[in-house]
Amino acid sequence: MKPDPDTTGRGLDRIGMDPTKLSKDELVQEWNVREEELRLQNEQLRESELRAVTQLQRFETMFNHFPLPVVIVDDHLVIVDANRAAKETLPALIRVRDSSLVRFLDAPTRSSVTRTLVQGGVADIDAGLHLQAPVAYRLRVVPLHSDPGRMNYAVIFQPRT
């Protein structure tokens, strides 16, 4: 009975070898070669995953210890994350996760921030925030790469003097 080419020897067919014409020893040798290739690819994948986890931990440490308040917002200005300084300095802003930054911005700031998001660039914006009392900040809006089709932004709050 001839082996089903859809389930057996697909890799050999790809490189122009007919698995039905190879000896048992040649098939075992090809199997071992493919197995070693897969082992190496899995090892590289594990190393890449470890590097990614390490980079993420490094970023999270830097983000949380950054001395200025920083919030991460989506393209609708919904707060998705905040660093320690933001949580300590702007508790009213950060109190409710998934709250909108828009409700804390005065009208001119809202327009400037929205324009920056549409243009996708980096911008420094003099902002008026409505917290318990009006507070003046310079907002730096920086686009961050996110999932395909989505964009997040870091909003850095610099006290205005």
Q: Which CATH class is domain 67-159?
A: alpha beta
Average pLDDT rounded to a whole number, residues 52-72: 94
pLDDT at 95: 66
pLDDT of residue 11: 56
pTM for this one? 0.67
pLDDT in tens, 87-117: 888 877 776 556 888 878 888 888 888 888 8
Domain positions in the chain: 10-60, 67-159
Q: Half-sphere exposure of residue 19, counting CA atoms within 13 Å on the CB side?
A: 18
